[in-house]
Amino acid sequence: MVLVIISDIHGNLEALEAALSLIDEAKPDQIICLGDIVGYGANPNECVDLVRSKSQVVLLGNHDAAAIGLTSVEYFNTHARRAAHWTAEVLTGENTAYLRALPMDYRGEGFYAVHASPHEPSVWHYVINQGVADEAFHAFNDPVCFLGHSHVPVLFREGGERGEHLDEGDHVLEGNGRFIVNVGSVGQPRDNDPRLSFGLYETEGRKLSIRRHE
């Protein structure tokens, strides 16, 4: 099975459309969105509509939850807080109801998916170093966990010393180890590479490809 994993679109319609054009070429069996469809960007409704029409699995992100009053914005920076309030005002009733019904996580065949961390998903922990990753490994039993939230494509190995930045291209998840994979951000990359990022994963052979596009 070929999976595409997208995350952290943040209302960036142009980036989402560019990502979907590449995804259509890959002809995946399933598209999984790890959340944060909205927040920051100017096109929350259009992005929700597109994700709804294209993704077979969609999870709730913290900015999605903030825009519909399911999580506090007190820990957001000023720009994120203003964006959450504005997004709440412009979301259609239908899209608000859609976001409100999204699950926190998803378990597929041989993988687990969540927006932030498998450890206390609703607390929105950032998995940004090996110490936090080690705690997260205790919270799931699957071979691979896909997540977003930090906007940086990175790989953590169970028992590893540190995370490995995932460059564009192919990566094989070797052996019988367990892995946490952050696929990066479609709408707001934060790894000093302005190009959008998403993941393509072949369950047979556990082959991961990080795709980037301007």
Domain limits for position 177: 2-213
Q: Residue 51: its pLDDT value, please?
A: 98
DSSP assignment of 134-199 equals: HHHHTT--SSEEEE-SS---EEEETT-SS-EE--SEEEE--TT--EEEE---SS---SS--SEEEE
Predicted TM-score (pTM) of this structure: 0.96
For residues 57-86, give the mean pLDDT.
96
CA–CA separation, 130 vs 190, rounded Å? 19
Residue 138 has pLDDT above 90, yes or no: yes
For residue 176, the model assigns a pLDDT of 84
Q: Which of 3, 1, 9, 2 is nearest to 184 (CA)?
A: 9
Indicate which CATH number applies to the domain containing 195.
3.60.21.10
Q: How many domains does the chain have?
A: 1
**Above 90 in pLDDT, residue 164?**
yes
